[in-house]
Amino acid sequence: MNYQETLAYLFRRLPMFQRVGVQAFKKDLGNIKQLMNFLNHPHNNYATIHIAGTNGKGSVTHILAKMLMEAGLKVGFYTSPHYRDFRERIKINGQLMPKRKVTTFVKKYKEQIEQVNASFFEVTVAMAFDYFAYEQVDVAIIETGLGGRLDSTNIITPILSIITNISLDHQAMLGDTLPQIAMEKAGIIKKGIPVVIGEKQAQTLPIFRRKAEAMKAPLFLAEKITKLEVRQNDMTGIKGYFTIAGKSFDLETDISGPFQEKNLKTAITAYQHLLKPLALPALSAKSFQNIQKRTNFIGRWTILGKNPLILADSAHNIAGLTLFAQAIQNIPHQKMYIILGTVNDKNPSYLFDILPKNAFYHFAKANIPRGLDAQKLLEIATKKGIKAQAYSSVRRALAAAKRKAQPKDLIIIAGSIFVVAEVV
């Protein structure tokens, strides 16, 4: 198989949650353990950091990876899903896994993949672990896919666990309440391994404390350990300073958005706890510079054009979209156009209770089987008095907004990672 044939095999032959939904979700670790047996347990050959949470996992992964890269380490990072290129899931020091490595892995282990009836996610986790071992990374940051307890990544024994926050998302698989979801995420807490909690939440912190106490795992709250004073948080980035362990440091970074302040505190706290295990130097101004470019970080508060300003963000649940909606209202503009799409296993009504009601909406179905038909969104929005039109594709919806918009208007692309993926 060449690379394109390999991708076709991965996307079509193997069950993929992002495309088909809950039927691709495996509720045990049996398959990944069998794959690790075939591969001779490559994940045991390097240090790992495990990250779970509803929002912020990807951001914390990339921020922390940049810090560790600046410290001179060879850093692998596994994230999901991808936007433009499958290989975004598996990177070393920000560089995508080479195409030939993807093809070689699938060709070599195709028989074993089919023998265990592995899912798309299980295969990509195994591929990442194997690639990181082959390239002899110093440390790998591993982001969970869904949940934590039964996530395929949860076979690692990390040197640090991180849980960013908890919000309602994927309830069909993780539970209908914040404590139920927190129980699943808490499954990454390992015996004696420190855990950093990125956001203190009244309903979930007791869950994490009980789990940490049962596992004799030291627990640290990022907001108590790292103080962040922000002077500027706009389209160009975040500027300010942070204080940790009694010392203050200037901070200037290219990432921005209403959610990144918490993610920065979480990543800085994590770095502090990795100082001794990884023999790291102290943080410096360089640690935070050019995060997007150096790590290939896309899809979050991404500027796609100016005059009019075109902004894409992949916030896709109540907590993420609430922050996002508040932030875009504060961006100076005359008229606002929102290109919006979502998936068909979520009730989209809540979107119009959160997002601006005075915007003009362009609905589009993401080009995946799970994408919700744009006409259904239009029906719901019309009943709520929202001005909108439906389009046959995300690109056509964006093109229509561009034709209408004046230089001082604002165009937003939002609602789903898969909608954003078609334009970034």
pLDDT bracket for residue 172 (50, 70, 90): very low
Query: Tokens 């998936």, residue?
Result: 343
pLDDT digits (tens, 9 = 90+) for 231-247: 998 888 999 999 998 98
pLDDT at 199 over 70: yes
Range in 173-187, 265-279, 355-369, 388-402 with the lowest mean pLDDT: 173-187
pLDDT at 88: 97
pLDDT at 149 over 60: yes
Contact predicate 217/194, CB 8 Å: yes
pLDDT at 309: 96
Segment 410-424 mean pLDDT: 92
Diameter over CA atoms, the chain: 59
pLDDT at 301 over 70: yes
pLDDT at 270 over 50: yes
Q: 238-247, long-range: CB within 8 Å, 24+ apart, which pairs?
A: 238/264, 242/268, 244/268, 244/269, 244/272, 245/272
SS3 339: strand
Segment 176-196 mean pLDDT: 91
Range in 191-195, 199-203, 349-353 with the lowest mean pLDDT: 349-353
pLDDT at 140: 98
Query: Tokens 């918490």, residue?
Result: 262
Segment 295-302 mean pLDDT: 92
- β partners of residue 250: 241
Does an H or E element contain 181, and which? helix 178-185
pLDDT at 317 over 90: no
State what percent of residues in the chain have pLDDT above 70: 95
What type of residue is 264?
L
pLDDT at 221 over 90: yes
Q: Which CATH number fits domain 3-295: 3.30.420.40, 3.40.50.740, 3.20.20.140, 3.40.1190.10?
A: 3.40.1190.10
pLDDT at 356: 92
pLDDT digits (tens, 9 = 90+) for 97-120: 999 999 999 999 999 999 998 989
Does the global pTM surpass 0.85?
A: yes
- Of 263, 278, 254, nearest in space to 71 by CA: 278
Range in 153-157, 343-347, 417-421 with the lowest mean pLDDT: 343-347
Rounded CA separation 337/358 (Å): 9
For the chain, where do the domains classified as CATH 3.90.190.20 start and end? 302-421
Helices (H), 186-259: 205-214, 222-225
pLDDT bracket for residue 370 (50, 70, 90): confident
Rounded CA separation 296/294 (Å): 6
pLDDT bracket for residue 24 (50, 70, 90): very low
Segment 161-168 mean pLDDT: 87
CB atoms within 10 A of CB 385: 8
Q: CB burial class (10 A; 0-12, 13-18, 19+) of residue 40? A: exposed
Structure tokens at 269: 């706290």
Rounded CA separation 351/340 (Å): 10
For the chain, where do the domains classified as CATH 3.40.1190.10 start and end? 3-295
Query: Tokens 């592995």, residue?
Result: 118
State what percent of residues in the chain have pLDDT above 90: 73
pLDDT at 27 over 80: no
- Of 117, 113, 153, 127, nearest in space to 23 by CA: 117
pLDDT at 422 over 60: yes
CB atoms within 10 A of CB 59: 25
- To the nearest whole number, what is the mean pLDDT of the chain? 91
Phi, psi of 267 (to 5 degrees): -65, -40
Rounded CA separation 73/421 (Å): 30
pLDDT bracket for residue 174 (50, 70, 90): low
pLDDT at 395 over 60: yes
Question: What class, spelled out in words, does domain 302-421 have in CATH?
Answer: alpha beta
- Of 210, 259, 200, 213, nearest in space to 233 by CA: 259
Q: Residues of 288-303 as b/e, b for ≥16 C-beta within 10 angstroms?
A: bbebbebbbbbbbbbe
pLDDT at 391 over 70: yes
